């Protein structure tokens, strides 16, 4: 239900800056994912909302009211911990009913809500089991049920699926989103797994080194990222450095060595001739074409140096004649892949998928660094 507003929040631990002037708005009923590499501050941010951590500066408003002076237990935020933290001395039923018990409700009063919650997450048959006897997935669901049953309308989730195997995660994450939407809650979900964020978030917040890099809906951030780090962190991307040669109507000519590529101009990115720039293109948008089409726009000739089978895709590394290494993903379903390592190929970088950026002042490597 509630909307959350974070205004200029900062937090430092000694010399380490965990959060630096963070401002963010989460709308009523929205499912927001905060992603970023380890140490980017995402956990510190939701801990600040919950009151587990006190920011040094800034304000946090839930439904328009400032919560900065309220202790954890009075903020009304449900929290799911990364380490799950089920009470080891209570069974599933007691864990889930804890929030209601603490509010003073009698066992009879609690029964209705708790049973409903257990049903919704399909863990009713585990009611009498203790955490030590449960599987990872069951523990995860119990932790979620516990937060939901406390009646909170704002759900804060810290790597809630981190303890689970990849395959199990892909199943449970959709159940989680569905439940949150069904109950009309607002959720802020922290994860380091960008695939997870892309697949369930209404909006994604990208963080790095204590700052927000970019915010937006998943498809926008994936297809049209405004920042280089977003292009790198969400999905995979090829990056090239080039120099702007000239404007040609709605496109720019960019020179890389002895190759010239035609790139569409982008809003808010003003580049003049002789500016250094960075080009990015996702591997799945690079096209492998027939040798005869070598004269197409943005075509490069090269050789396959690596090829791996990924099931529904083939992943190739092409070394172009001008020295560039390009990663290419090609969907295959019926045919046997007939392109092998050592083959000569022609690839095309379609201008509508090439993203152009200013060259970052601290250097490209630093901008792309994950650790």
Binding residues vs another protein (CB under 8 A): 37-38, 50, 52, 71-74, 76-79, 81, 83, 85, 87-89, 98-99, 101-104, 107, 135-137, 146-147, 150, 165-168, 171, 174, 192-196, 198-200, 218-219, 222-223, 233-236, 282-285, 308-312, 315, 329, 331, 333-334, 370-371
Query: In terms of DSSP H, where are the helices of 121-154?
Result: 136-149
| Closest distance of CB 368 from another protein, Å | 10
The DSSP output letter for 195 is H
Q: Which is nearer to another protein, 264 or 358 (CB)?
A: 264
Closest CB to another protein among residues 249, 342: 342
DSSP codes of every residue in 281-316: E-GGGPEEE-GGGGGSTTEEEEEEEEEEE-SSEEEE
User: Six-digit token pair at 259?
Assistant: 């190759």
29 vs 136, which CB is nearer to another protein?
136
Q: Helices (DSSP H) in the chain: which residue ranges?
A: 42-50, 92-102, 107-120, 136-149, 166-182, 194-200, 218-223, 228-233, 364-368
Question: Measured from the CB atom, is 21 or 284 closer to another protein?
Answer: 284
Question: What is the Cα 274 distance to its own chain's centre?
Answer: 34
CB neighbourhood size of 274 (10 A): 9
Kindly state the smallest distance separating residue 42's Cβ from another protein, in Å.
Answer: 11
Nearest distance in Å: CB 104, another protein: 5
Q: Nearest approach, Cβ of 271 to another protein (angstroms)?
A: 26
Minimum Å gap between C-beta 273 and another protein is 31
- Phi, then psi, of 306 in degrees rounded to 5: -145, 145
CB neighbourhood size of 270 (10 A): 9
Dihedral sign for Cα atoms in the order 64, 65, 67, 69 = positive
| Smallest separation (angstroms) from another protein to the CB of 218 | 5
- 140 vs 259, beta carbon nearer another protein: 140
Nearer to another protein, 243 or 313 (CB): 313
Residue 287 vs 303, nearer CB to another protein: 287
User: How far apart are the C-alpha atoms of 210 and 53, rounded to whole Å?
Assistant: 15
Q: What is the DSSP letter of 336?
A: P
Q: How far is the CB of 64 from another protein (least distance, A)?
A: 21
| 147/354 with CB nearer another protein | 147
Own/partner pairs, 116-121, CB within 8 angstroms, 24+ separation = 117/145, 117/148, 117/149, 118/92, 118/93, 118/145, 120/145, 120/179, 120/182, 121/145, 121/175, 121/179
Residues in contact with 38: Cβ distance below 8 Å, sequence separation at least 6, in sequence order = 192, 371
CB contact at 8 A, 243 and 275: yes
Tell the smallest beta-carbon distance from residue 5 to another protein (Å).
20
């Amino acid at each position: 239900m509630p909307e959350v507003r974070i205004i200029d929040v900062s937090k430092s631990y000694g010399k380490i800056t965990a959060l630096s002037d963070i401002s963010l708005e989460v709308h009523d009923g929205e499912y927001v994912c905060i992603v970023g590499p380890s140490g980017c501050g995402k956990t510190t941010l939701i801990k600040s909302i919950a009151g587990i951590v006190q920011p040094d500066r800034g304000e946090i408003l839930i439904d328009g009211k400032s919560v900065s002076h309220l202790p954890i237990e009075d903020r009304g935020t449900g929290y799911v911990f990364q380490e799950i933290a089920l009470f080891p001395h209570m069974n599933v039923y007691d864990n889930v009913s804890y929030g209601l018990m603490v509010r003073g409700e009698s066992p009879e009063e609690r029964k209705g809500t708790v049973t409903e919650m257990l049903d919704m997450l399909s863990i009713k048959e585990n009611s009498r089991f203790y955490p030590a006897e449960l599987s990872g997935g069951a523990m995860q669901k119990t932790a979620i049920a516990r937060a939901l049953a406390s009646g909170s309308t704002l759900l804060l989730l810290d790597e809630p699926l981190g303890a689970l195997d990849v395959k199990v995660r892909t199943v449970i994450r959709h159940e989680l989103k569905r439940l949150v939407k069904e109950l009309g809650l607002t959720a802020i979900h922290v994860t380091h797994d960008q695939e997870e964020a892309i697949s369930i978030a209404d909006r994604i917040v990208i963080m790095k080194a204590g700052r927000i890099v970019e915010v937006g809906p998943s498809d926008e951030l994936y297809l049209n990222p405004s920042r280089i780090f977003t292009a790198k962190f969400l999905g995979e991307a090829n990056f090239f450095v080039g120099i702007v040669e000239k404007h040609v109507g709605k496109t720019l000519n960019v020179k890389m060595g002895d190759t010239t590529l035609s790139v569409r101009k982008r809003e808010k990115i003003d580049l003049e001739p002789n500016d250094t720039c960075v080009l990015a293109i996702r591997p799945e948008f690079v096209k492998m074409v027939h040798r005869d089409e070598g004269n197409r726009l943005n075509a490069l000739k090269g050789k396959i140096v690596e090829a791996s089978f990924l099931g529904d895709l083939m992943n190739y590394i092409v070394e172009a004649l001008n020295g560039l290494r390009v990663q290419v993903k090609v969907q295959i379903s019926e045919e046997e892949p007939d392109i092998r390592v050592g083959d000569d190929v022609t690839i095309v970088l379609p201008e509508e998928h090439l993203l152009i950026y200013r060259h970052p002042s601290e250097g490209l490597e630093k901008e792309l660094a994950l650790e």
